Every structure is written in structure tokens, then in C-alpha cells.
Structure 1
Amino acid sequence: MDSIKRFINNEIVLCVAFVLAVGSSFVVHPDRQYLGYIDFRTLSILLALMITMAGLQRLQVFRQIGELLVAKMSSISGVVLVLIFLCFFSAMFITNDVALLTFVPFSIVTLSISNRRDLYIIVIVLETIAANLGSMLTPLGNPQNLYLYSLAGMSLGAFIKLMLPYSVAALVLLVACGFAFVKPAPVTLAEKHKYDRSSRDKKMIAMYVFTFLISILVVARVLDYRIGLVIVAALTLVLDRRVLRKPDYSLLFTFIFLFIFIGNIKRIPALSDAIGSFLQINEVGVSIFLSQFISNVPAAILCSGFTDQIDKLIIGTNLGGLGTLIASMASLISFKQYSYIDGADKKKYIGVFTLANIFFLVVMCAIYIIL
């Protein structure tokens, strides 16, 4: 019983998606159309990326890059800005989840050996915002971008052009906050980790760089997604099969259950018309609102079933990742990492996180209105 409760607590979005899918199947009974609900292209790209990122993370490639950059700083404000930049820029390519899983624990260690534990909360909060906002620039940045980009059929350049103004504004704002909340002070980072990589590790890094390039080709529609997934899965299975246990498969099942739920709802005229009418009021505003309560990935899948204004959903669900702690599930990763610290003040963290996110959300919405 305890294990079931623990599973529900850890996978609440998955469980809700499962209940919705099963519940809707009693109204719209399973048939051949169910298979058409599922976006296999998105799922294939997502799986290939998760395998690749899990491999590179296991080999500590991202952490090594972070340590090299941080080691060049002699001021604590410089260190903090590098940590924010790492989350912002890396999230564009390795996803916001992986960026936070990699750099939040690294930041905790860095601030600890710098004797600046007082900066834990503000730095982790800014890193979380940086990862969520940095990830919005590319289809690779987060799951909802990957799905909506695939659904829209837009070019990679068009996607980046759509989100570029928000990313530039976010970066300027993050830098300003970094300078405002972290005053310059000398810092010495004496503790360094040595990476003695074997020839096999180097080969594995090269392989995962190759599988990442394969994923980019699939995203850019140069390579068929089925071929891309077969290449990534085959290479990993033969050369590093243990990494296949690492990806977050619950995310894939969450997508599948939500696809089934939305597909069924679209076949119930009364509900479909009601949701469609509500969404047409303001696609950006509705997707931001829904993200605050169900997170932006489910909000993207839900809204996409009832509007063809996918560009507005891309903007809305990306901005919707700001706000509450569950608006972006990646934010929970940071919160969990912080909660492991001895003496962690969770109430203070949630307070600072909420205020900072609301501030960034208001600014981003103002930019949308201006544009």
C-alpha cells in the first residue's frame, strides 16, 4: 500500500492522465480510431532524446562543462551568472528537466564550498526560471514544444523566430536579477573533480553526440523519425544497454493517456464544442491559465485538440511554465533537490519561487501584448 501511495505522489500527472483516459473510454469505447489519436513522431523523438541525454548525463559531460566554466570565475556574482547561463542555454538542447537535474545539485555543491549557503534559494529559483525560459526557444527544449512543433509542421527557423523575442527579454531580465540579488564578492573554488575517462567512455560520448545529431536531423525533418529511433535504440542496445533503464518512461505513457483522453473528448460533440468555444476566447491566456493547475505539457495536449492556432499555444504553454510550482513539472525537480539540503526552508523557497515566477510571468505577458 505504501508503495502505491509513493508511486501516486511521484507520478501524479501520469495517474491523472490514466484516470482520464480510462474514464473517457467508457463513453467512447475503444476502436480502430484510438491508434490515430497517438502522435508517434513526437513520442519517438522524445524517447530518442531521453536516451541520448541519459547517456551524456551518466558520463557527467554536462557537469564537466559546468565545472570548467565556473572555475574561471573569481567573483561569486560571476559564478552565479555562469550557473544561470548554464541552465538557460543548455535547456535549449538538453531539455529543461536535464538541465536542472544536472546543474542544481552542482550549484548546491559550488555554493557550499564557496561558503555562500545563503544564496541557495535565490540561485536555484533563478536557475529554474532560466531553464524553463531558455527551453522555450527550441523544439528540443521541452516536451510540449516538441509536440506542438511536430503538430504545427512549421520549420525550425519559424519556431525560433516565434520565441526569440521572449528568450532575449528573459535573458536580459535574468542577468539583471543576478546582479540585483548577488553582490560581487571574492570567491575561491579550491575543490575540483578530476575526470579520468577511459577510452570506452570517450567512445560512448562520441556515440551520444552522434545520436544527438540524429535527433536534430529528425526534428528538422531531414530524417524520418522511425529511422532515427531505430538508429538511436540499436546503438544504445549494443553499446550501452544499461542506460535504457534511465529515461523517464512515465512521461511517454502520460502523453499516450492524454492523447487517448483528448481523442475521445473530440468525439463527444457537446464537450468538444464547449472546450473549443472556451479556448477561442484567448488561446494564449487560456493555455497560461490551465498550465498553472495541470502543468504546461498536459495543457498543450489538451488545448491542441480544439484549436488550429498552434503558434499561440506554443507561446501560451511556454509562458505558462512560469507561475505555480506545478506549472512546469521541471520546477519540481529543483524543489526536490533543494528539499534534500539540511535545514532547507521549504516555505521560504515556495514564497520566493512564486513571487519571482509571477514577476517574470507578468513581464513576459506584457511583451506578448506589446508584440
Structure 2
Amino acid sequence: MEAIKHFIKNEIVLCVALVLSIISCFFVHPSRDYFNYIDYRTLSILLSLMITMAGFQRLSVFRQIGEILVGKMNSIRGIVLILLGLCFFSSMFITNDVALLTFVPFSIITLSISNRKDLFIIVIVLETIAANLGSMLIPLGNPQNLYLYSLSNMNLLSFISIMLPYSICAFILLVLSTYLFVKDAPVSGSGDSKKVYNRTPYEKKLIRLYIFAFLASLLVVARIIPYYVSLIVVILLVVIFDRRVLRKPDYSLLFTFVFLFVFIGNMKNISIISTFLEALIKNNEVIVSVFLSQFISNVPAAILCSGFTNDIPKLIIGTNLGGLGTLIASMASLISFKQYSYIDGADSKKYIKVFSIFNIVFLIIMLIEYTIIYLV
């Protein structure tokens, strides 16, 4: 029983999606049509990326890059800017989840060695915002982007052009926040955190393998090669050379997608519900998706809303901006909160307070930007 409670607590979104899909089955009885609900392309790209990123993480590739960059800084503000930049720019390619899993623990170590534990909360909060907003620029950045990009059939440049104004604004806000809330001071000893990476020939081979796997995923996103070719190649390579990595991907996220696809597919087949949701969401895509994200997180919000509108560009904007706000608006935010909570003397209430204030301010500014762009 305790194991079940623990699973539900840790996988609440998955469990809710499962319950919703089961309930919907009573209204639309299971049939072969269920298989048509599922976006296999999105699931395949997600799995390929998760396997690839797990491989890079196991080899500490991202951390090594971070240590090299941070080691070049001799001021605390410079270090914080590098840490935020790592989260912001890396999340575009390695996803917001992986960016936070990699660089939040690294930041905690770096700030501890620099005797600046007082900056834990502000830096981790800003890193979380950086990862969530940095990831919105390209389809690879987060699951909802991948899904909506696949659904829209738009090209890569079109997607980037939609989100570029918001990414630029987000980066400027992050830099301004650093200058406003991180007082500059010289720092010594930050280089002590560096680790010497004497990689074996086999590890170097694995790094090349994962670079190849990542490039294959990029080609799928760009619609140059079929998704199933990339997935088969990635799985075969990993099974042969590094099979333990297959235990690392977040399979619960994949099942969450499947259950939500079933639920939304069934809802579309119930005319009264479909008509109501279409009327609610149509022409209100940004506001509705931002609002829903605050309570069910932005990935489920993207899948839910996409079933009842054809204005995918506005859903892309809404679900990305919707990652700001509450702690569950983006599930990636929970990753950094958990990492912070492991610190001795962590003040969770203060963290949530600071997190909420910064997220609300950022969200308001980004929505104002959307309003200005929309009116123009």
C-alpha cells in the first residue's frame, strides 16, 4: 500500500491521465480507432531524445562544459550569468528537464564552494525560469513543443519566428534580474570544483555515438528522415553499446502522453463536450492554455487544447508562457524544487514565495508582450 501511495505521489499527472482515459472509455467504447488517437511521431522523438540525453548525462558531458565555462569567471555575478546562460541556451537542445537536472546540482556545488549559499534560492529560481523559457524557442526544447510542432506541420523557421520575440524578452529579463538581485563581488576558489575528465577510448566512442543519435533526432525534427528510422537506429546502438541507459528515460511521461491522447480522442467523439470545449478554446487559445497550465501543467494543457482548435501557433505561445506561474505549471519546475529541498537547512516556504513572485512577474510581462504583438 505504501508503495502505491508513493507511486501516486510521484506520478500524479500520469495517474490522473490514466483515470481520465479510463473514464472516457465508458462513453466511447474501445475500438481500433484508439490507435489513430496516438501521435507516434512525437512519442518516438521524445524517446530518442530521452535516451540520448540520458547517455550524455551519464558521461557528465554537460557538467564538464559547465565547469569549463564557470571556471573562467572570477566574479559571483559572472558565475550566476554563466549558470543562467547554461540553463537558458542548453534547454533549447537538451530539454528543460535535463538542463535543470544537470545544472541545478552543479550550481549548488559551485555556490557552496564560492561561500555564497545565500544565493541558492534566487539562483535556482532564475535557473528554473531560464530553462523553461529558453526551451520554448525550438521544438526540441520541451515535450509540448515537440507535440505541437508535429501537429502543426509547420517548418522549423516558422516555429522559431513565433517564439523568438518571447525568447529575446526572456533573456533580457533574466540578465536584468541578475544585475538587480545578485550583488557583484570577487570570488575565489570556484575553480576548485573542477574535475579532471580522463576519458577512456570507450567513453569517447560513446560520446560520438550520442552526438550521432542527437543529430538523427534533429533530422527527424526537420522532417528530413522518418521518425521510426531514427528511433530504431538509436535503440539498436544503445542496446549494443550502452544498454544500461535504457533504464534512464522518463517512461511515465510517454505513458502520460498516450493516456491523454486517448482521453482527448474520446472527448472529441462526444459531441456535446466537443462543442463546449471548441467554443471555450477557440480565439482564447493563449489565455485558456496559460490558465490550464497553472493547474495541470503545460504538457497536458497542450494536448487537451490541441484537440479543439486549429490555431496551433497560439497554443505554442500559450503553453510555453503557461510554464510560468505555479510550481506545477511546468513539471520541470518540480525538478529544481526537489533539488533545492535536498540541501541542509532548505527553506521550502521561502523558496515557493520567491519562485511565485518571480514567475508571476515574468508571466505578466510576457503576456503584456503577447498583447502588444497581437495588437500590432
TM-score using structure 1 length: 0.99
Alpha-carbon separation, structure 1, partners of 2:183 and 2:81: 11
Note if 1:50 corresponds to 2:50: yes
Deviation sequence 1:69-126 (CA, Å, 0-9, x none): 0000000000000000000000000000000000000000000000000000000000
Note if 1:270 corresponds to 2:284: no
Offset of 1:195 from its aligned partner? Answer: 1.0
Offset of 1:281 from its aligned partner? Answer: 4.5
Note if 1:97 corresponds to 2:97: yes
Deviation sequence 1:185-234 (CA, Å, 0-9, x none): 01111332111111000000000000000000000000000111111111
The equivalent residue for 1:87 is 87
Alpha-carbon separation, structure 2, partners of 1:245 and 1:318: 29
Alpha-carbon separation, structure 2, partners of 1:68 and 1:344: 28
Classify the secondary structure of the residue corresponding to 1:129: helix
The equivalent residue for 2:249 is 247
Aligned positions, number: 371
Note if 1:60 corresponds to 2:60: yes
Deviation sequence 1:6-36 (CA, Å, 0-9, x none): 1001000000000000110011110010000
Note if 1:41 corresponds to 2:41: yes
The equivalent residue for 2:223 is 221
Alpha-carbon separation, structure 1, partners of 2:58 and 2:283: 45
Classify the secondary structure of the residue corresponding to 2:141: coil
Offset of 1:280 from its aligned partner? Answer: 1.5
The equivalent residue for 1:158 is 158
State how 1:224-303 maps to structure 2 within 5 Å: 224-303=226-305
Classify the secondary structure of the residue corresponding to 1:342: coil
Offset of 1:355 from its aligned partner? Answer: 0.3
Classify the secondary structure of the residue corresponding to 1:197: coil
The equivalent residue for 1:183 is 183
The equivalent residue for 2:327 is 325
- Counterpart residue identity of residue 194, structure 1: V
Alpha-carbon separation, structure 1, partners of 2:232 and 2:286: 36
Alpha-carbon separation, structure 2, partners of 1:94 and 1:220: 16
Alpha-carbon separation, structure 2, partners of 1:233 and 1:192: 33
Alpha-carbon separation, structure 2, partners of 1:46 and 1:97: 12
Alpha-carbon separation, structure 1, partners of 2:86 and 2:34: 41
Alpha-carbon separation, structure 2, partners of 1:182 and 1:226: 47
The equivalent residue for 1:128 is 128
State how 1:348-363 maps to structure 2 within 5 Å: 348-363=350-365
Classify the secondary structure of the residue corresponding to 2:135: helix
Note if 1:148 corresponds to 2:144: no
The equivalent residue for 2:200 is 198
Classify the secondary structure of the residue corresponding to 1:14: helix
Alpha-carbon separation, structure 1, partners of 2:35 and 2:282: 27
Alpha-carbon separation, structure 1, partners of 2:296 and 2:244: 33
- Counterpart residue identity of residue 142, structure 1: N
Alpha-carbon separation, structure 1, partners of 2:207 and 2:161: 31
- Counterpart residue identity of residue 290, structure 1: L
After TM superposition, what 4+ stretches of structure 1 lie above 2 angstroms from structure 2?
A: none
Note if 1:311 corresponds to 2:313: yes
Alpha-carbon separation, structure 2, partners of 1:102 and 1:57: 7
The equivalent residue for 2:23 is 23
8 Å Cα contact 2:67/2:193 also seen in 1: no
8 Å Cα contact 2:289/2:305 also seen in 1: yes
8 Å Cα contact 2:109/2:193 also seen in 1: no
Classify the secondary structure of the residue corresponding to 1:140: helix
Deviation sequence 1:308-337 (CA, Å, 0-9, x none): 000000000000000000000000000000
Deviation sequence 1:48-89 (CA, Å, 0-9, x none): 000000000000000000000000000000000000000000
Alpha-carbon separation, structure 2, partners of 1:329 and 1:76: 29
Deviates more, 1:184-193 or 1:5-14: 184-193
Deviates more, 1:190-199 or 1:304-313: 190-199
Classify the secondary structure of the residue corresponding to 1:168: helix
- Counterpart residue identity of residue 110, structure 1: T
Alpha-carbon separation, structure 1, partners of 2:2 and 2:181: 42
Classify the secondary structure of the residue corresponding to 2:193: coil
Deviates more, 1:189-198 or 1:321-330: 189-198
Deviates more, 1:64-73 or 1:185-194: 185-194
